[in-house]
Every structure is written in structure tokens, then in C-alpha cells.
Amino acid sequence: MLDKVKLIHRIVEMHSSYSKNSLFMRIILLLCIFGIAARILAQDLEKPAPFRPVVMLHGFLASGDTWASFCDFFTRSGYPADYLYVHDWNTLNQGADHIQALDAAIDTLLMRTGARQIDLIGHSAGGGLAYRYLADSTRASKVCRYVHIGSRRQKQPAGPQGQIPTLNLWSKDDHITAAAGGTIEGAVNRMLSGLDHYQVATHFDAFSEVYHFLNNDMPHLHVQPTRAGVPIGGRAVFLGNNKPLSAARVELYYLDTSSGQRLSQLPDVQVRTDKDGRWYISHVQTGVPVELVLAAPETTRPVHYFFPGFERPCLLVYLRALPTGADFLSTVLNNLPCTSTQSVISIYLSSQSAQAGRDSLTINNISLSTHSIAPPEKVAISFFLYDEDGDGRSSIAPLNRFARFPFLTGVDMHLPPNEDIPLEIYFNGKLQRVRRIPSHEGIQVIVF
């Protein structure tokens, strides 16, 4: 573009050299200059952007943070951050008009970026939503390519006539869609063995397949410079239905690595969520464990989130409050203990499940990755630990209320809050130490 501006400048200089010519000749030459300049600039304006915007749809009980890894990979591969959009939807209410909301979001993204089409990615239940969306020819015309990840096998590629180029990414080790998944005739099919139901939407091997399909090239991740501080942000929503929490308070505390205790009594940073539940903190120290407290006006107890630290910018940090509705998830979680005599711990695995025989998850040297608690077919990513009957003992038995749900599991474990010794949680060799909080002061969520 700079070279073309110099060319225009040279043409203008040529016009000046003819200043002694007749007025008529000068007008003719000036019109020619304007015409050449307009054509040169138009070529740049019409040049397509190197990437198309990408819209990502999460699966059942999930939220937009499913795509945190992919978004990090996309931006490190050169995608503009504002070309990436994660669409939150309520998977507990399949009767809602999710198509209209998705269509409006896509229209907004196209208008904001000036792109003609987007690329669409759907994971698990998000794949079903994507196929329903693309069944209409008008809506399908807005999508260039579609990626179907860890979702049900379809009869043909996406689109009313199967006309949209489709990548079907699946794994024989995905125990959620193992029976219903598989190859789609006419699609580009890639099977990634060894990856579970969440890894097919978070692992770099899966991303490489997606990037290659969308761009006909392999990704090259830019090395991120070491920073003393990074921005973080995301959304505050209710667990399960993704209803936003507006005007909620988000407090950040830095923690001592060895004890898990707060380094200061007052929050190091405090912000409020907007009407969509979005929040943002411009500078967070790297290499320091962090506690984020979500205090929402609609809930009686805050939720304390514990992170090992942030090394890179992350704007898909989701903080979830306990649900308050009448759906099955609210029924399961509404009766969590709220006392001064025990802590309630939830361990959340953000990019994969913990499976017996494959992974190692322990708390205070007690294994949670057993065949009774975390069998492979459970695909457990959220572990709820508390003393259900209040007898002050830990049977380490699975809790029946979580038995029929995928992704969620519960364990009978008494965790007294008045001990000075921190909880030690290991997941595949990674350690977090956190202090114990009485459950009436909040639920604790340890994030890996």
C-alpha cells in the first residue's frame, strides 16, 4: 500500500511539471491522475482479508470458555482477536429460538468486520445447533466452511444440499459420541485417537486440523514475549444456562504459592460486570496464583475460583454462579452444604476430563481418578467434593445424585475448614494449594 501511495505522489509530480501547458491539457491530465489513483486505492480496498471471522458453538452444559485454547491458538497464528466470536447459549432449554440469536450474532460480526462470510465451528451439542442453522439456504450463504467436532454423525456435509465444505473431527476415544459419531459421507473426516470429548475441542492437534481446513495451510504459532503482567477478562454467568450476571462484583487476590493464603486482606483488584456479565482486568501479575471471587447480587453465596496463574492474555475466563432455576442442574446443586463445619470443593478441568487408567487426580493424596468416581464413559470434568450426610467422615464413595449425568461427578468427603494445612490438589503432575473456606462463606472451585 505504501508503494502505491508513492506512485500516486510521483504522478502528481509529473502533473506539476506540465504547469506551463494549456489549461485544457492540465484538466485532462488531472482527470487521468484521479482515475489512476482511484483504481490503485480500490485494489487495496477490495483485497480480501487474510482470514475469515470464526464463530464457535459450545456443547451441552458448557460455555464460551470451551474455546479458550482454540482462541489462543488462533490469535497466536495471526487471527485478529475481533475476528473470533464464541456464542453462549442455554443448552438446558432446547425449545428456545437459538437459531435466531445465532443468526443475529453472525450478522453483527459480519457488519463489524466487513467480511462477506464466516467460518463456523460446532462442538458436541453445538454441532447439532450448527446443522440446524445451516439447513436454511439464506443462513448457509453466510458461512464459507464448517467444522463439526465431537458431534453426531450426519448424512451429508452441512447446508441444505450438503454444499458447505465440512470438516468432521472425531475420536474413537470420545466416550460421549462414540456410538453416534463417525465419518460423514462427502465431508473431510479426521479421526484423532487418544483424545476425549473435550480434548477434540481444546487440543493443539485438533486445532491444527481445523486451521489447515479453514486456511489450506498449517498454523505457525508466534512466540509470546515474557511479560510481567497480562490482561484477563471474560463473563460471569449462571452455571448451565449461561444467563449473564450483571452488576456482579469480581475481586482478585494474589496467593502465596506454598500456603494458598491471600497475600493481602483487601482485594488487589475489584471490578463490576456489565449488563452482559462481561468483566475485564487490564493488568494481572504473571507467575502468581490467583483467586477470583464472584459475588453476585442474585446468589446467597460467593464462588471462589482458584487459578495457578496467568502467563498469557486470556479474555475467556468464565466465572459461574450456582444456578437458581427449576432445571435438573439447579435441583442437583441447590442442596450443597452451607455450614461453618465443612468446605465444599469443586475441581474443574478446563481442557480435558480425568479418566481412570489414563489420568491422575488427587486431593490430599486421595485419588479421585478411580473407576468408581471417574470411569472413562463419565468424561468427568467437574468434581464436587463434600460431606453429603454430614457425619464428619469421608467414605470417598460416588454421590448418587450425580450418577446419571455426564461430565459431573460427586464424592463424599469431609473437608473441615478450620485446619491451617492447605488442600493440595494434583492433576497430572500439576499442583495447586488452596486454603479451606467454610461453605457458608462460599463454594471453592479449583481450575486446571
Question: Is 368 inside any structural domain?
Answer: yes
Confidence class for position 11, pLDDT limits 50, 70, 90? very low
Question: Is 281 inside any structural domain?
Answer: yes
Question: Is 224 inside any structural domain?
Answer: no
Question: Is 176 inside any structural domain?
Answer: yes
290 and 394 share one domain: yes
pLDDT 10s digits, 390-447: 999 999 999 999 998 899 999 999 999 977 899 999 999 999 999 999 999 999 999 9
131 and 202 share one domain: yes
299 and 330 share one domain: yes
Most confident of 28-32, 171-175, 418-422: 171-175
193 and 288 share one domain: no
pLDDT at 13 over 70: no
Q: Encode the chain in three state secondary structure.
A: CHHHHHHHHHHHHHHHHCCCCCHHHHHHHHHHHHHHHHHHHHHHHHCCCCCCCEEEECCCCCCHHHHHHHHHHHHHCCCCHHHEEEECCCCCCCCCCHHHHHHHHHHHHHHHHCCCCEEEEEECHHHHHHHHHCCCHHHHCCEEEEEEECCCCCCCCCCCCCCCCEEEEECCCCCCCCCCCCCCCCCEEEECCCCCCCHHHCCHHHHHHHHHHHHCCCCCCCCCCCCCEEEEEEEEEECCCCCECCCCEEEEEEECCCCCCECCCCCCEEEECCCCCEEEEEEEECCCCEEEEEECCCCCCCEEEEECCCCCCEEEEEEEECCCCCCHHHHHHCCCCCCCCCCCEEEECCCCCECCCCCCEEECCEECCCCCCCCHHHCECEEEEECCCCCCCCCCCECHHHCCCCCEEEEECCCCCCCCCCEEEEECCEEEEECCCCHHHCEEEEEC
pLDDT at 4 over 70: no
Q: Which domain holds residue 345?
A: 229-447
- The pLDDT of residue 297: 79
Residue ending a domain, choose from 215, 242, 258: 215
202 and 163 share one domain: yes
- The pLDDT of residue 334: 82
Question: Is 220 inside any structural domain?
Answer: no
Residue ending a domain, choose from 187, 215, 243: 215
Question: Is 174 inside any structural domain?
Answer: yes
208 and 242 share one domain: no
Confidence class for position 18, pLDDT limits 50, 70, 90? very low
Q: What is the CATH number of the domain that holds 360?
A: 2.60.40.2200
Q: What is the CATH number of the domain that holds 173?
A: 3.40.50.1820
128 and 186 share one domain: yes
- The pLDDT of residue 111: 98
273 and 417 share one domain: yes
- The pLDDT of residue 42: 47
pLDDT at 132 over 50: yes
Question: Is 335 inside any structural domain?
Answer: yes
368 and 405 share one domain: yes
pLDDT at 299 over 70: no
295 and 415 share one domain: yes
Q: How many domains does the chain have?
A: 3
Question: Is 196 inside any structural domain?
Answer: yes
289 and 416 share one domain: yes
Lowest mean pLDDT among 49-58, 198-207, 246-255: 49-58
* pTM, two decimal places: 0.88
- The pLDDT of residue 40: 44
Q: Share the mean pLDDT of the chain.
A: 91
pLDDT 10s digits, 239-296: 999 999 999 999 999 999 999 999 999 999 999 999 999 999 999 999 999 999 999 8
64 and 196 share one domain: yes
Confidence class for position 238, pLDDT limits 50, 70, 90? very high
